[in-house]
Amino acid sequence: MYSMSTCWNSHRHTDGRAMLLEIRELGFEYAELSHGIRLSLVEGILQAVDAGEIRISSLHNFCPLPMGVSHAAPNLFQFSAESTRERELAIKSTLKTFDFAVRVGAPLVVLHMGSVEMKDYTDRLKELVAEGRRETPRYEALLAEAIEQRERRKEPFVERAYETLRRLIPEAEARGLRLGIENREAVEEIPFETDLRFFFREFARPTVAYWHDTGHAQIKEDLGLIHHMLHLESFADRLAGFHIHDVKPPCRDHCAPGTGRVDFASLRPWVRPEHVKVFELSPALSVEEVRAGVEYIRQLWGDE
């Protein structure tokens, strides 16, 4: 199942039906409703779905956006937040995403789990990579400091994130939904690569799956935190699907596949027909660039 995320075109549309028809005209039978879906787009989305013009593969929390929010905001409310009110808003908004997923017939919701509140090391690490200084003592010291600070501070943030997820799992199961836990690009974002094996032991139910973002994983490889292909192999048994996009130096993601650093051919052994494969591409890409990126992946991964 190949799908196209509305992150590519939602900002250009005031009519949700026209938004989805643009994706259908690219040859996609499925679309992912991303975290930039304004409430004003919902009526048209329902019209397109009810008319059978397109099917919805997945939703990306929060979708639709909470009232009064008009821009993509997947981290608007964090599962890991110290504020009880923020966590309750996160749950409330996620349940609305669940209900919308049921309404449009989507089987899966992609989730962000939150983050540890700490100094922003990720941007500085990216700057050093851009300067060609990754293989330097300065970079190694900064990366070690970032990991040390994260490990020292993480426990309450991780526990709050996990407890929030525990409350959401029965709600997802009652609606027949799967939850795709997305790998993240920043050092401080949960779950951490070093913790993922423990995470999936803690949440062993089939409702909770791994969602692999190719761009985020490549950035983590470029930062020296993982080996992209080996990371995917390690969690292939829990894999539900992909966000597909490429990364150009320095750490610029959501590029068309085939134009950047991601070795998509090396990922092919772990791609299955049952996986949801979503192109999550920058709004800056033209139709021609999108078509070329889609064709590149189909040539490597097949049409299923």
Mean pLDDT within 149-176: 97
CA 42 to CA 23: how far, in whole Å? Answer: 16
* Burial class of 270 by CB neighbour count within 10 A (0 to 12, 13 to 18, 19+): middle
pLDDT beyond 90 at 82: yes
User: What mean pLDDT, rounded, does the chain reach?
Assistant: 95
164 Cβ partners below 8 Å, 6+ apart?
79, 80, 87, 90, 91, 114
Q: Quote the CA–CA distance of 240 and 1 in Å, as a whole number.
A: 11
Decide the pairing of beta strands 276-279 and 252-255.
unpaired
pLDDT class for 70, splitting at 50, 70, 90? Answer: confident
pLDDT band for position 90 (50/70/90)? very high
CATH topology of domain 2-301: TIM Barrel (3.20.20)
What is the β-pairing status of strands 178-182 and 55-60? unpaired
For 209, the 3-state DSSP assignment is strand
Query: What are the tens digits of pLDDT across the range 102-120?
Result: 999 999 999 999 999 998 8
- Give residue 173's pLDDT: 98
pLDDT value at residue 166: 97
Residues contacting 20, CB < 8 A, separation 6+: 6, 31, 44, 45, 48, 49, 53, 54
CA dist., res. 172 & res. 179, Å (int): 7
pLDDT at 278: 98
Residues 248 and 256: beta-carbon distance below 8 Å: no
Return the pLDDT at 280.
98
Question: What are the sequence ranges of the domains in the chain?
Answer: 2-301
pLDDT at 75: 85
pTM: 0.95
pLDDT band at 251 (very low <50, low <70, confident <90, very high): confident
Residue 210 confidence (pLDDT) above 90: yes
Does position 304 have pLDDT exceeding 80, yes or no?
no
DSSP, collapsed to helix, strand or coil, labels residue 11 as helix
